[in-house]
A = this chain, B = another copy of it.
């Protein structure tokens, strides 16, 4: 989901995606991009630069998910403080 949210802003290269998402390993991002490409959600383009560069962009199918994903991201931002409080209280009890 984080990758789809990051690509809502437009095509990006691997390292730019990794920086933007932050808490994701090289291996997990590689696997997630491959899964999204296989699902037809993301298009992978090899740019004829020297050295060749790879760019990832949402496909039409991927963009059709943007509204529900945007709502989820908005919900997460609004509720993250409450969730952190809940986690702290849970950890105190367990």
Contact = CB atoms under 8 A, between A and B. Distances in A.
Copies of chain A in the complex: 2
A42 to B, nearest CB: 11
Contact of A67 (B40, B61, B71, B87): B71
A78 to B, nearest CB: 9
Interface string A25-45: 000000000000111110000
B75 A64 contact: yes
* Chain A, interface residues (CB within 8 Å), range: 20 to 34
Most chain B C-beta atoms within 10 Å of own C-beta, residue among A37, A38, A65, A91: A38
Interface of A: 37-41, 61, 64-65, 67-69, 71-72, 75, 79, 82-83, 85-87, 90-91
